[in-house]
Structure 1
């Protein structure tokens, strides 16, 4: 069964306030980086999944994100999915 590598990017929905992003923006301004206008904090997740096809892997990842990896009420997600070659398999 082929293995697929996914890189998942999770961000807050634009309508959701981001206090962590606001704090980082403030810190950057205090450090002299006044040109920073907006900061949004998110999550990055990597995982591998075995599936019969890329479409099946895509469907599984959608379910994982909707049910566990994200909070669909306040977060959006997207992911990149590649077929994992034997050279990419961690030892």
Structure 2
């Protein structure tokens, strides 16, 4: 079983990397970009066979290590 975790900064948290990407896109001539938010995707190969147990385990991983829950939110996708 595979899990995919999408981690993004929470709304209202400044995103300097996103701003840098937005600026670089403008410099390259892409004028239609109003805002950029940058995040990360983490893929995990799991030995679990129970979907609900796998999702609960990945959520614990996110809470302890994969996401800084003070400033980041995460979504888990079991694939």
The answer to whether the superposition gives a TM-score over 0.5 is yes
TM normalised by structure 2 equals 0.94
* Structure 1, unaligned runs of 5 or more: 83-91
Count of paired positions: 79
* Aligned-CA RMSD value: 1.0
Alpha-carbon distance, 1:51 to partner? 2.3
CA distance in 2, matches of 1:80, 1:6: 6
Q: How does 1:47-86 map to 2 (within 5 A)?
A: 47-82=44-79
4+ residue segments displaced more than 2 Å:
none
TM normalised by structure 1 equals 0.82
Q: Which residue of 2 aligns with 1:87?
A: none
Q: Which residue of 1 aligns with 2:14?
A: 17
Q: Which residue of 2 aligns with 1:8?
A: 5
* Structure 2, unaligned runs of 5 or more: none
Please say which structure displays the higher CA radius of gyration: 1
Contact kept? 2:59, 2:76, Cα under 8 Å:
no
